[in-house]
């Protein structure tokens, strides 16, 4: 239920939604509920976006027999980032897909060698025109966030889970603030580590220089207000938020993990640093905010953003659905 924020928008578009009624994937009741939904529904395509869900969905789809829907999955993260049991289940069932996408070349390269050739890299992209429309609200958003004249804004949009490394982000922010850099940090995201991250924030003494906003439905608007977009992640696929930042001309300061080096080139449209190094991240944030460097990175980000249109990805997914489900176009 806590992930239903997009449901009203989907249903307004005519997309019926179903909640399987569990808090997380560890509750096994979702597996029987999914199978019942698949058995009684008249579905053409099942598209899974989580390795745990995909592992179960592949088996359940195949159990439906000849009149089954086709099964498609998208790999959003590198395989080494999965828990051992998740990686094993994903690998064992992987060959049951009718089609498989990976969000970056790096994610594809992490797939087991025997299955890699069947994986297609598909960069999701963003709605460039829509994303850039948020730039007009930049100053209003900065005022709402309490950004003072002469103060920079660093924004992070990331779920509150271990791989996003909020402890490292908070440590880096503490270092930057202690150096006297006039910058305010704002984060948006939800997740099961919310209480732990809030405790770390209290312990850091950063106060209102580091704001935890929780879930927001206007994250693109937040990014448009930023001077830099920051990620401290241990691992990534290719985050949509990074593509949004570059499309908006916001330089990205992040760890060089997953597909991030495919989008961010250091000293061109952002700065990449080694993972798990809060000092390096703090140094990069400080350098990216220096006026001359910042102006160069903004120009590079704006130039880079043009290549992240989602139109090719939308067309490719639709064509794949039609081909596999043998449905006519139009």
pLDDT in tens, the chain (330 residues): 778 888 999 999 999 999 999 988 889 999 999 999 999 999 999 999 999 999 999 999 999 998 899 999 999 999 999 999 999 999 999 999 999 999 999 999 999 999 999 999 999 999 999 999 999 999 999 999 999 999 999 999 999 999 999 999 999 999 999 999 999 999 999 998 999 999 999 999 999 999 999 999 999 999 999 999 999 999 998 999 999 999 999 999 999 999 999 999 999 999 999 999 999 999 999 999 999 999 999 999 999 988 899 999 999 999 999 999 986 544
Q: Do 75 and 103 touch, CB atoms closer than 8 A?
A: yes
State the distance between the two ends of the chain, measured CA to CA, in whole angstroms.
Answer: 34
Q: Do 170 and 204 touch, CB atoms closer than 8 A?
A: yes
- In the DSSP assignment, the letter for residue 209 is G
The conformational region for residue 213 under phi > 0 = left, psi -120 to 50 = alpha, else beta, is alpha
Q: Do 55 and 89 touch, CB atoms closer than 8 A?
A: yes
Name which of 190, 186, 204 is nearest 158 in CA terms: 190
Q: Do 131 and 125 touch, CB atoms closer than 8 A?
A: no
Provide the 3-class DSSP secondary structure of residue 120.
strand
Q: How many whole angstroms separate alpha carbon 175 and alpha carbon 282?
A: 6
Q: How many whole angstroms separate alpha carbon 58 and alpha carbon 93?
A: 7
Q: How many other β-carbons are positioned within 10 Å of the β-carbon of residue 20?
A: 16
Name which of 289, 233, 234 is nearest 242 in CA terms: 233
Q: What is the pTM of this model?
A: 0.85
Q: How many other β-carbons are positioned within 10 Å of the β-carbon of residue 21?
A: 10
Positions of E strands within 103-177: 119-121, 152-157
């Amino acid at each position: 239920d806590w992930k239903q924020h997009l449901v009203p928008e989907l249903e307004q578009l005519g997309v019926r939604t179903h909640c399987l009624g569990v808090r997380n994937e560890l509750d096994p009741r979702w597996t029987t509920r999914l199978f019942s939904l698949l058995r009684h529904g008249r579905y053409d395509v099942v598209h899974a976006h989580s390795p745990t869900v995909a592992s179960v969905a592949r088996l359940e789809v195949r159990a439906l027999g000849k009149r089954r829907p086709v099964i498609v999955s998208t790999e959003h993260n590198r395989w080494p980032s999965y828990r051992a049991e998740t990686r094993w289940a994903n690998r064992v069932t992987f060959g049951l897909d009718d089609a498989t996408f990976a969000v970056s070349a790096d994610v594809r390269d992490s797939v087991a060698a025997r299955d890699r050739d069947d994986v297609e890299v598909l960069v999701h992209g963003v709605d460039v025109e829509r994303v850039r429309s948020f730039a007009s609200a930049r100053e209003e958003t900065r005022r709402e966030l309490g950004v003072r004249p002469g103060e920079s804004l660093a924004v992070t949009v990331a779920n509150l889970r271990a791989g996003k490394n909020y402890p490292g982000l908070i440590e880096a922010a503490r270092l930057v603030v202690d150096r006297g850099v006039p910058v305010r940090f704002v984060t948006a995201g939800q997740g099961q580590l919310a209480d732990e991250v809030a405790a770390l924030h209290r312990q850091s003494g950063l106060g209102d220089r580091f704001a935890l906003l929780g879930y927001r439905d206007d994250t693109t608007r937040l990014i448009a207000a930023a001077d830099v977009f920051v990620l401290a992640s241990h691992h990534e696929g290719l985050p949509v938020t990074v593509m949004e930042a570059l499309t908006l001309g916001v330089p990205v300061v992040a760890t060089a993990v997953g597909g991030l080096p495919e989008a961010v080139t250091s000293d061109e449209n952002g700065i990449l640093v080694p993972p798990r190094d809060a000092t390096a991240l703090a140094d990069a944030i400080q350098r990216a905010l220096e006026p001359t460097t910042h102006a160069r990175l903004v120009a590079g980000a704006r130039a880079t953003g043009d290549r992240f249109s989602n139109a090719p990805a939308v067309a490719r997914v639709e064509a794949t659905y039609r081909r596999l489900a043998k449905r006519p176009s139009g």
